[in-house]
Chain A
Amino acid sequence: MSDQFLFATEVFINGLMAGVLYALVALGFVLIYKASGIFNYAQGVMALFAAMTLVGIMEGQVPFSHIINAIFGTEVHHFGWHVPALLAILLTVGVMVGFAWLVQRVVMRHLVGQEPIILFMATIGLAYFLEGVSDLMWGSEIKTLDVGLPQGGSFWIEDMTSFLGSDNFYGFFIDQLDIVATFVAILLVTGLVLFSQYTKQGRAMRAVADDHQAALSVGISLNFIWVLVWSVAGFVALVAGIMWGTKSGVQFSLSLIALKALPVLMLGGFTSIPGAIVGGLIIGVGEKLFEFAIGPMVGGATENWFAYVLALLFLVFRPQGLFGEKIIERV
């Protein structure tokens, strides 16, 4: 096998891994969209907020310390304790559930029945709000997140695959974190599918997704389901936040992965969980291979836009995405 082919394969595999991470974010979108018809732009910022809260709790930071210091002239920063990762994750889940309740209570409940585009814009507002709050709460500097996940290239895989090529091929370089992320994603999707198929709440969730009024008439509380859905989305955001945060540090750019998840959703269709995963993989592989093959010719950094243009071209031929429900329009 030629080296060129092997490098392309390596790029392909890394693209798959990156795609899994995109899919992880896209999953949160699909959940909320299916259950409430809200396209939640704030999903990325929720991931940022969750990761920041996790770091803040682990390091024992004082929330809003900057403002407290500015108003009272004090110098508080840390409580001085360190919380173990598992406990901190549980606490963060609690925070995300509280956040879900607040969002439902204060914002979304008042917007029931509005046009989808109004709801979308409301979540853009929510994204700005949450971004500001998380900066005020935990400070805006870049933080490192370490919950004990393995990082760095896997030497084992490199050693095992180096025989494939000639002397200047050292084996596939694959980040251990990406492998962990893949397993986590598989676990998460299995868990979500089981939850929505076999539990009472999960079934209620699917009923709401099918028809709000019918669900309401058989006695399902829409308010409860929506809080539940936002909480689950918050949990998915936390998982995505942990993965991305461990990979590249907890910082503002984390919230931009929401934008990366949009073309994934367009490819897969807004209403399909398998679609989110397949879409994520296609985008991940597509943009890595494009950057590898065409990128050097046109000046590089094509990853910024390739996903969108791919999704755009794709949509022209199939407006509802790969797995989306067929759009039927009536007058």
Chain B
Amino acid sequence: MFYREAGDFKVSYQEDSQTFPIKFDRFRYYVVMAVAFGLIPFLINDYWANAILLPFLIYSIAAIGLNILVGYAGQVSLGTGGFMAVGAYACYKLMTAFPEVSMFIHVILAGGITGLVCVLFGLPSLRIKGFYLAVATLAAQFFLVWLFNRVPWFYNYSASGQINAPERDTFGIIITGPNASAWATYLFCLIFLTFCALVARNLTRGTVGRSWMAIRDMDIAAEIIGVNPLKSKLTAFAVSGFFIGVSGALFFAIYLGAVEVGEAFGITKSFLVLFMVIIGGLGSIFGSFAGAAFLVLLPVLLKVVGVDVLGWPTDIVAHFQLVIVGALIMFFLIVEPHGLAQLWRVAKEKLRLWPFPH
């Protein structure tokens, strides 16, 4: 009844092309933002932050980044873990080299560095396509992880080969290290997520995004109608690399605090983020959120049900998780290849017609 465009008169082009054309959606968006910024920081505690909210926020950024590359530009990448590692190590080097600079600047710079590395590994995409490219990005994954493992300069010659986030602040509030409070880390990640989502949304509906989608749909045809493949492929790699780098930096500095590169940024991380993008929906910003939320919540849920309720050993539950995630991937690809985002779209479409669907 209230979910309608009817009665909401647009009097300018700007209003007509806004992200949420339906009034109810707009209010919902403001309410979500108000709750996320104004309410949750007061209610949050360490368990909620570490088990659910921080991983959700950070993986959402990574998923948006990968979605730009895979979903919008059609360049399949299996190197996400490696690129997140670049972000993490860039952030670490910056944090230790310039302790007095604000964390905001470190994280953004780390994202920029990752963007450059990503462009470098994206260069072959001009010649290699499809699967071949997917496998070629594995080169990035394995080479980068090896590099951070073997070259001591990257981990400041520490004996364990790990990197540990030192205590750093921004505007006088401690946000890394063991003394950081839950609300501060949460807000820090949330600000980055909001920023990234806004940038991604506005890029994907503008000229850049349209050239990405043209390349995705058919690159030769796009080239013939005047889309520059070099420019659009490399911008996709750069933007996606920036987001993934930011998420890698946050993952290391804010969420984990200490990282062993092979464990935290291995090939499984690449697949995890790719699954988020597939389950959420290729080529959809909302889908990135949905996919990240789904795959962050699923293990928590399974653990609660399996270990706490049924009392099974944790390893069986972990194996079940593999089975369920694998089955879900196949299920989604068969039943709904466009992911959770498409379900959401269908639901909205139904709601607009409700209660008279004909």
By a beta-carbon cutoff of 8 Å, the part of chain A in contact with chain B is 39, 66-67, 70, 107, 110-111, 114, 116-118, 120-122, 124-133, 135-136, 140, 259, 262-263, 265-266, 270, 298-302, 304-305, 308-309, 311-312, 315-316, 319, 327, 329-331
CB closest residue in chain A, given B218: A331
Contact in complex: B271, A305 (CB < 8 Å)? no
CA distance A114 to B337 in the complex (A): 10
Identify 6 new A-B residue pairs, CB closer than 8 A, beyond the known A128-B322, A305-B142, A316-B127: A117-B76, A120-B131, A120-B134, A129-B322, A308-B139, A311-B136
Q: Chain B contacts of A125 at CB under 8 A?
A: 275, 325-330, 333
CB closest residue in chain A, given B136: A312
Q: Chain A contacts of B329 at CB under 8 A?
A: 121-122, 124-125, 128
Asked if B135 is at the interface (CB within 8 A of a chain A CB), the reply is yes
Interface secondary structure of A, over-half rule: helix
Q: Chain A contacts of B220 at CB under 8 A?
A: 329-331
Q: Chain B contacts of A311 at CB under 8 A?
A: 135-136, 139
CB closest residue in chain B, given A330: B220
Asked if B146 is at the interface (CB within 8 A of a chain A CB), the reply is yes
CA distance A301 to B161 in the complex (A): 15
Q: Chain A contacts of B134 at CB under 8 A?
A: 117, 120
> How far is the CB of B326 from the nearest CB of chain A, in Å?
3
Contact in complex: A122, B124 (CB < 8 Å)? no
12 pairs across A/B with beta carbons < 8 Å? A66-B313, A66-B316, A116-B131, A120-B134, A122-B334, A124-B329, A128-B323, A136-B320, A302-B146, A312-B139, A315-B124, A315-B132
Asked if B138 is at the interface (CB within 8 A of a chain A CB), the reply is yes
Contact in complex: A107, B146 (CB < 8 Å)? no
Contact in complex: A259, B323 (CB < 8 Å)? no
Contact in complex: B278, A121 (CB < 8 Å)? yes
Q: Chain B contacts of A133 at CB under 8 A?
A: 323
CA distance A122 to B137 in the complex (A): 19
Q: Mark B133-151, 1 if CB is under 8 A from A, else 0.
A: 0111011001101100111
> How far is the CB of B24 from the nearest CB of chain A, in Å?
33
Contact in complex: A117, B131 (CB < 8 Å)? yes
Contact in complex: A129, B327 (CB < 8 Å)? yes
CA distance A331 to B330 in the complex (A): 30
Contact in complex: A301, B326 (CB < 8 Å)? no
CB closest residue in chain A, given B279: A125
